[in-house]
Amino acid sequence: MNHQCSSCNSNSVIEFFADKSKSLNCFFCEACTLVFVINGDSEVTPYEDQNQSSPDHIEHIQSYAQEMIQNLDLHHKSMVVEIDSRDGAQLNLFEENGIPCIGFERMSQAGVDANENKDNTIKEYFGVEQAWSFLSESHPQSQGRKADLVIVHNALTKVQDINDLLEGIALILKESGTATFESVWIKYLFDEESINPFMHATSFFSTHALQVACSKHDLEITDIQYFDLNGGMLRWFVQRKGLHIVSPNLTVFLGEEVESGMTDKDLYLRFGELVTGI
C-alpha cells in the first residue's frame, strides 16, 4: 500500500518500521523530512501528556508565561489562544495577569472535565472552520479579535491534519503576532533505541519539517529555543513570513539536523533495523 506524506502530500515516503502485532507503521518523508505514524491503537496517550504534572513541567510553563508577557508586551487588550489547552494550566497563568485567553480542547477527557464550567474553553478541534468562526464579531469569546499569541504545545505529535491547523493559525494570528510550537526533538528519540515514543504519536516534526509545513501557509520559523525537558525538546517561534527578523538560531538548528542525519532516510532505516532486533 502506497502512503502520502500527511504534511506535504509527497509520495516520496519510506516505511522504516512496522509491527503488525501492534498495528504500528512508521514512515519518513524524503521531501519534507516529516516522520509520521499510522497506529491502529486509538487508546494511546499522546506523547506530550506523559510528564504534564511533573515539577519541571510546571516550572517550564510558568517561565514561558512570564517570558511571553514580557517579550510580547501582553496586556488586558491582548488575546492569547491555546490549541489543545488540556486542563487550562498554561492559560491560567496568563489570565492571572489580566490577559484575555481562549483555549481549544477536544482531545483530552481530563481537559474536558477540568474546563467543564469555563466560558473561555471551546470544546472543539481547532482548524480552518473554527478559525473563521473565531474571527466573527458575534463569536462569544473572541468577538472577532485576532490573536497576539497562539500556543501549540500539546498538539504537534498527535495532529491529524497539520495543514488545517496551520491555515487556521494563519487566519487568526495578527500580523505582529507570534505562535509558539513545542515538541520533543526527534533527534533525541533515536538515542533511546526504543520504538515506544512512536506508539504515542501521529507525527514528529524536525525543524526542517515544520519550516516546510509553515511555508505553505505564509508562515515561517523565526527563532528556536532548546530545553532539557522530556529528553530534549524544542520551542519554535512562528510568525508571518517576511515581516519579522529571523534569528541566527534557525540556521544553527537546521545545520545540526543535517549534520546528525535527520534529513536523510539512512538514519531512519538504521533505527528501524535496530529496534526490530530488540
Residue range 73-93, pLDDT digits in tens: 999 999 999 999 998 999 999
Which pLDDT value is given to residue 265? 96
In order of 22, 53, 60, 213, the CA distances from 57 in angstroms are 30, 7, 5, 27
Contacts of 167 (CB under 8 A, 6+ apart): 127, 128, 131, 217
Type of residue numbered 118: K
Identify the CATH number of the domain in which residue 247 sits: 3.40.50.150
Compute the average pLDDT of residues 33-57: 71
Residue 142 has pLDDT above 90, yes or no: no
Cell 532516510 belongs to residue: 265
Cα(47)–Cα(252) distance, integer angstroms: 26
Of 190, 249, 186, nearest to 221 by C-alpha is 249
Q: How far is CA 89 from the centre of its chain?
A: 17
**How many CB atoms neighbour CB 174 within 10 A?**
16
Q: Please give the sequence-ordered ranges of beta strands (E in DSSP) within 35-191, or none if there are none.
A: 35-39, 80-83, 101-104, 121-122, 147-152, 173-184
Of 236, 162, 184, nearest to 57 by C-alpha is 184
Which pLDDT value is given to residue 116? 57
Domain assignment of residue 275, yes or no? no
What confidence category does residue 235 fall into, taking pLDDT thresholds of 50, 70 and 90?
very high
Domain assignment of residue 22, yes or no? no
Q: Residue 76: give the domain boundaries.
A: 54-260
Domain assignment of residue 201, yes or no? yes
Domain assignment of residue 239, yes or no? yes
Give 96-127 as a DSSP string.
Answer: TTT--EEEE--S-HHHHHHTTT-TTEE-S--S
Domain assignment of residue 278, yes or no? no
Domain count, the chain: 1
Domain assignment of residue 49, yes or no? no
Domain assignment of residue 44, yes or no? no
Cα of first residue to Cα of last residue in the chain, in angstroms, is: 26
Domain assignment of residue 274, yes or no? no
